[in-house]
Amino acid sequence: MGADFVVLSLVPLLIGTLAAVACALPGNFLLLRRQALIGDAISHVVLPGIVVAFLITSSVNSWAMLLGAGAAAIVAVALIEGISRLGRIEPGAAMGVVFTAMFAGGVLLLEMSDTSAVHLDVEHALYGNLESLIWIEATGWASLTDPEALAGLPPELARIALAALGIAIFTWVLWRPLAMATFDEGFAQAQGIPTVALGLGLVIAAAVAAVAAFDAVGSIIVIAMFICPPAAARMMTDRLGHQVAWSLGFAVLSAVMGYVLAGYGPIWLGGNDAVSAAGMIATVSGAILGLTCLYGPKRRSDVSNINSSAKH
C-alpha cells in the first residue's frame, strides 16, 4: 500500500464510503416509515433537477445542482402526495407515475441540450465514475499533510464529506422527533411535533445525500445504500440505535469490499480490467442483505402480520 494506493484508490474509497454512509443514515428512517422506495424515486428525480439547474445557470456550479436536485425532490414528493390524495391513488402507483415521468423528462432535456462541454450524461448519472476520481497531485501518504497536494483533491470529496456531516448532524439533532414520528405519528403530533415538516426534512436530507453521492457514484449506489444496509441492519437488532450503527457498518463494508473487488477481483480471476465499482458496491450490499435475510437473528417479526401492517 504505497504511493499508487494514495493516488488511485484512497479518494475513490473515501468517496464511496462517505456516499454509502450519507445514504444509509436517512435510509434507516425511510425503511421504518415504509417509505423505502422514496429513496428510489429521489435518486431518479435528481437527474431532471440537475439538468434544469444546469440549463438555468449554464454552469455545473455544485450549489445550483444541489438546489435543483433538492427542488426536484420536493416537487416529486408534493406531486406523489397530491396525486394519491386527490385521485385516491395508492401511493406506490402515484410514485411510479411521478418518478418515471420526471426521469424521462430529465433524459430528454439532457439529450436535447448541449452538455458536451460538461460532465453530464445519462450513463454517468446511472453509475457514476468512481474510478476516475483520482488524486493526481499526491505522491504518497505524506501528501495528506501537504497543503499543495491537498488543494488538488477532487472537489467531489469535499462535497460528499460536507453532505455526510450535514446529514449526520441532522440525524443526531432530530433523532427523538424522528423516532417518535415514525413509531407513533398521532402521539408525536399531539406533542406538538410538526410531523409533516419533519417528513419533508427527511426527504430533503435524502435528496442532499442522493445529489452529493450521485455526482460521484451514480444513482444505483444511492438506491442500494438507501435500502440494503438499513434493511440488513434491521435483521440484526431490535433497537433503533443499534440498527443505525449496524447499517453504518454494513454501508462501510459494502463500499470498501465493493471497491476492492471491482478493482482487484478481475485481476485475481486472471483478467486485467477493473469492473464498475458502483455496480460492485451495490452487489456486495445485496449479498450482505441476502446473508442477513437467511441468518440474521431478528429476521422475523414478533408481531403478527395484521398488527405490523396496521399502519397503512
Partner 1 sequence: MSDALTLAARDGRHVTDEAASSPLAIRGLTVSYGQKPAIFSVDMTVEDGSMTAIIGPNGAGKSTLLKAALGIVPAVSGSATIYGTPLSKARDKIAYVPQRASVDWDFPTRVIDVVLMGMSRELGLLRPVRTRHRVRAIECLTRVGMQDFATRQIGQLSGGQQQRVFLARALAQGASLYLLDEPFAGVDAATEKAVIAVLKSLRDEGKTVVCVHHDLSTIGEYFTHAVLLNIRKVAEGPVAEAFTAETLQATYGGRLGLAQIEQLNLRAI
Partner 2 sequence: MLFEALTFQLGYNATLVALGAALLGISAGATGTFLFLRKRALVSDAISHATLPGIGLAFIVMVAFGGDGRNLAGLLLGSALSAGLGLLAVQWISARTRLGEDAAIGAVLSVFFGAGIVLLTVIQTMDSGRQAGLEGFLLGATAGMLLSDALVIAIGGAAALALVVLFRRPMTLAAFDPGYAVAQGMNLQRIDLATMGLALGVTIIGLKVVGLILIVALLIIPAVSARFWTDRSDRMVVLAGVFGGLSGYVGAAISASAPALPTGPLIVLVAAALFGASLLIAPGRGVLAALIRHVGYRRQVHLRQGLLTLAQGLPIYENYTLRLLTRAGLARPDGVATEAGRAEAAKALRDEARWAMARQLQAHEAASALYDGLRPIATVLTADEIAEIDARLGPPKQVTA
Q: How many residues bind partner 2 (CB under 8 A)?
A: 66
Among 174, 200, 274, 287, binds partner 1 (CB under 8 A): 174
Name the DSSP letter for residue 5: I
Are the C-beta atoms of residues 277 and 260 closer than 8 Å to each other? no
Are the C-beta atoms of residues 141 and 9 closer than 8 Å to each other? no
Using rule CB under 8 A, residue 177 touches partner 1: yes
**275 interface partner picked from partner 2, partner 1, none, CB below 5 to 8 A per type:** partner 2
Are the C-beta atoms of residues 188 and 180 closer than 8 Å to each other? yes
**Which amino acid does the sequence have at 230?**
P
- Residue closer to partner 1, measured from CB, 63 or 183: 183
CA 3/CA 1 separation, integer angstroms: 7
Name the DSSP letter for residue 162: H
- Residue closer to partner 1, measured from CB, 3 or 173: 173
Name the DSSP letter for residue 145: G
Sign of CA dihedral 129, 262, 219, 154: negative
- Residue closer to partner 2, measured from CB, 40 or 215: 40
Among 104, 118, 150, 173, binds partner 1 (CB under 8 A): 173
CA 48/CA 199 separation, integer angstroms: 22
Using rule CB under 8 A, residue 297 touches partner 2: no
- Spell out the residues 6+ positions from residue 80 whose beta carbon is closer than 8 angstroms to its own: 41, 91, 94, 95, 98
**200 interface partner picked from partner 1, partner 2, none, CB below 5 to 8 A per type:** none
Stretch in the footprint of partner 2 (CB under 8 A) among 10-18, 122-130, 167-175, 180-188: 122-130
Stretch in the footprint of partner 2 (CB under 8 A) among 58-66, 68-76, 167-175, 219-227: 219-227
Q: What are phi and psi of 204, to 5 degrees?
A: -65, -40
Among 92, 141, 144, 239, binds partner 1 (CB under 8 A): 239
Is residue 55 packed enough to be buried (19+ CB in 10 Å), middle (13-18) or exposed (0-12)? middle
Name the DSSP letter for residue 138: -
- Residue closer to partner 1, measured from CB, 56 or 173: 173
- Residue closer to partner 1, measured from CB, 283 or 292: 292
Among 8, 60, 101, 252, binds partner 2 (CB under 8 A): 101
Are the C-beta atoms of residues 266 and 287 closer than 8 Å to each other? no
For the bound state, the minimum distance from the C-beta of residue 286 to partner 2, rounded and expressed in Å, comes to 3
- Residue closer to partner 1, measured from CB, 99 or 170: 170
Stretch in the footprint of partner 2 (CB under 8 A) among 178-186, 201-209, 245-253, 269-277: 269-277
Is residue 60 packed enough to be buried (19+ CB in 10 Å), middle (13-18) or exposed (0-12)? middle
Using rule CB under 8 A, residue 89 touches partner 1: no
Binding site for partner 1 (CB under 8 A): 32, 172-177, 179-180, 182-187, 189-193, 234, 237-240, 242-243, 301-303, 307-308, 310-311
